[in-house]
Amino acid sequence: GAVVSQHPSRVICKSGTSVKIECRSLDFQATTMFWYRQFPKQSLMLMATSNEGSKATYEQGVEKDKFLINHASLTLSTLTVTSAHPEDSSFYICSATTGSGANYGYTFGSGTRLTVV
């Protein structure tokens, strides 16, 4: 089946630094990738949608200059949290689909727990 690898699974960074999270589709071409943020005991909140080769579409309230998303190839999308602050600490999850998610399904990564100290 389709597999999405998300790396790292855990990262601790100092306040003010940047951290990059990778999301790779291992056995399929991901035309669209999604980035979610999940607070403890809460739902997944969509941050942005990225299509290969084009700029990401950010949801309302998400700072695009703070959360940089790159989807340069059909198998890789990256989320860079720039100038991280403690309030950015959260669980970040990516998902990917080839074509229409309704028809082809969404495959989720296993998430990245970011802790900013």
**Residue in 13, 89, 101, 115 binding another protein, rule: CB under 8 A:** 101
Q: Going by DSSP bridges, is the β-strand pair 4-7/10-13 parallel, antiparallel, or unpaired? A: unpaired
Q: Applying CB under 8 A, does 106 fall inside the site for another protein?
A: yes
C-alpha to C-alpha distance for 21 and 98, rounded to whole angstroms? 20
**Residue in 13, 44, 68, 74 binding another protein, rule: CB under 8 A:** 44
Sheet containing 67-73: which strands, arranged edge to edge?
4-7, 19-25, 76-81, 67-73
- 71, 53 contact by CB (below 8 A): yes
Q: Which is nearer to another protein, 14 or 41 (CB)?
A: 41
- 90, 39 contact by CB (below 8 A): yes
CB of 70 to another protein, least distance (A): 19
Q: Applying CB under 8 A, does 108 fall inside the site for another protein?
A: yes
Interface with another protein by CB under 8 A: which residues? 32, 34, 41-46, 49, 91, 93, 95, 97, 100-102, 105-106, 108-111
